[in-house]
C-alpha cells in the first residue's frame, strides 16, 4: 500500500521553479541530498535546493575519470584510437561491467562508450591504471583536478564510484558536480558518447550490446547526456543536460532516496531532473527574449557633430610686441 501511495506521488508531483522539495515528498519518506540547475555556457545558477549538502555520487564519479581522459586527448597525450590493455585489477572489479579479461585491449573510444553507456566499473579501473600508473595515483589526480575546478567539497576515493558499506565513499555536492559538468560540456565530443542509446562493444567472438542507463534520452526533448548513478550506499543520482535551440542547461540530482526501493527512487530522480531542466530552459529562453527586446528597444543615437575648429591665427611682430608690454 505504501509503495502504491509513493508511486502515485511520483506521477502527480513536480518540482517548482525555485527547486524546493515539495513537503509531500518528505512526508512520503523521500529525501534528496541536493539538486541544482545551471546554465551550461556560464555556470550561472537557475535553481537550487540543498546544493551544498554532501552526498555520494556513485557512478556519476566516472564523469571526472572521463574529463581527465578527454583532457589528455586535448593535450595530445593519446587519441581516441589509442589502445588500453586491461590488467588483472581491472578484470577483478565488480558491479556494472563489460567483463574485461586481463590482457585484452580496446581503444579509448570503445572504452568511453562502455564507461558512459554500461557504466562499466572495470573500464574505469583500466583507464585509471593506464592514465595514472595505478588507481591511487589516478585518484589523487582526480582530486587535484576537482580542486582546480573549485569543487571544494569533493573528495574522490575511486575512479568509478563503486563503494560499499561504511566506505570510505566518494563525496561531493550538487554544486560541485555542476562545476564538473560545465567543464565537460566544453568537450562537444563527449556528447557523442552520452547521447548514444546503444552500442555494440566488440570483442572477438563475444559482441556485447551496451544500453544507455539514462532514460531521459528517450523522454526529454533535447537531452543528450550525461551520467546516472546508483548504489546501495549512495542511492540515486544523475547529472543530465539538454539543449533547446541556442540554450543548454545542466541539472543535477544527488542522493535521491525513496523507501519504496531502488527502481522508484531512480524514476523519481529522473522526474526531478526533467523538471529542473524544463524550468531551467524556460528561464533561459525568457532571459534571452528579454535581452533581445531590450536591444530592439534601445534608442539609436546619432554620432555627435564635430564643431568646426577655427584656424589659429599666426602671430606677427606687432602681436608679439603688444603681448610683451601687456600687464
Annotated catalytic residues are 59, 62, 119
Give the closest residue to 57 by CA, choosing from 171, 213, 138, 140.
Answer: 171
Residues 219 and 68: their CA atoms lie apart, in Å, by 30
Residues 83 and 129: their CA atoms lie apart, in Å, by 13
Give the closest residue to 276 by CA, choosing from 248, 245, 252.
Answer: 252
Which three-class secondary structure state does DSSP give residue 248?
strand
Count of C-beta atoms within a 10 Å radius of residue 293? 10
* Joined grid coordinates for residue 242: 539538454
Q: Write down the residue that cell numbers 553507456 correspond to.
A: 117
CB burial readout 193-211, b (16+ within 10 A) else e: bbbbeebebeeeeeeeebe
Radius of gyration of the chain (CA): 28
Give the closest residue to 40 by CA, choosing from 276, 220, 208, 212.
Answer: 276
* Joined grid coordinates for residue 284: 533561459
Q: Is the dihedral of CA 272, 247, 110, 177 positive or negative?
A: negative
22: left (phi over 0), alpha (psi -120 to 50) or beta: beta
CA dihedral 233→49→175→138, nearest 10 degrees, is 0
Residues 265 and 121: their CA atoms lie apart, in Å, by 22
Amino acid at each position: 500500500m505504501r509503495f502504491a501511495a509513493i508511486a502515485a506521488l511520483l506521477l502527480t508531483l513536480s518540482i517548482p521553479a525555485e527547486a524546493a522539495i515539495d513537503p509531500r515528498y518528505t512526508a512520503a519518506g523521500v529525501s534528496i541530498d541536493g539538486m541544482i540547475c545551471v546554465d551550461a555556457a556560464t555556470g550561472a545558477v537557475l535553481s537550487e535546493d540543498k546544493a551544498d549538502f554532501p552526498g555520494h555520487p556513485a557512478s556519476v564519479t566516472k564523469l571526472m575519470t572521463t574529463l581527465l581522459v578527454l583532457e589528455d586527448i586535448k593535450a595530445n597525450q593519446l587519441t581516441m584510437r589509442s589502445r588500453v590493455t586491461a590488467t588483472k585489477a581491472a578484470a577483478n572489479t565488480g558491479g556494472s561491467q563489460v567483463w574485461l579479461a586481463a590482457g585484452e585491449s580496446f581503444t579509448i573510444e570503445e572504452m568511453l562508450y562502455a564507461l558512459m553507456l554500461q557504466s562499466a566499473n572495470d573500464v574505469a579501473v583500466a583507464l585509471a591504471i593506464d592514465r595514472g600508473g595505478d588507481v591511487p595515483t589516478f585518484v589523487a589526480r582526480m582530486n587535484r583536478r576537482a580542486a582546480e575546478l573549485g569543487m571544494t567539497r569533493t573528495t574522490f576515493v575511486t575512479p568509478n564510484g563503486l563503494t560499499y558499506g561504511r566506505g570510505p565513499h566518494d563525496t561531493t555536492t550538487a554544486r560541485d558536480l555542476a562545476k564538473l559538468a560545465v567543464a565537460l560540456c566544453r568537450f562537444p565530443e563527449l556528447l557523442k558518447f552520452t547521447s548514444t542509446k546503444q552500442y555494440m562493444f566488440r570483442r572477438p567472438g563475444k559482441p556485447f550490446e551496451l544500453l544507455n542507463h539514462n532514460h531521459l534520452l528517450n523522454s526529454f526533448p533535447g537531452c543528450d547526456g550525461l551520467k546516472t548513478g546508483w548504489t546501495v550506499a549512495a542511492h540515486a543520482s544523475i547529472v543530465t543536460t539538454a539543449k533547446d535551440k541556442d540554450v543548454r542547461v545542466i541539472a543535477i540530482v544527488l542522493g535521491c532516496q525513496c523507501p519504496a526501493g531502488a527502481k522508484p527512487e531512480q524514476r523519481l530522480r529522473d522526474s526531478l531532473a526533467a523538471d529542473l531542466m524544463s524550468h531551467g530552459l524556460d528561464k533561459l529562453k525568457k532571459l534571452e527574449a528579454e535581452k533581445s527586446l531590450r536591444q530592439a528597444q534601445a534608442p539609436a543615437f546619432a554620432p555627435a557633430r564635430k564643431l568646426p575648429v577655427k584656424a589659429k591665427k599666426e602671430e606677427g611682430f606687432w602681436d608679439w610686441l603688444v603681448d610683451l608690454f601687456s600687464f
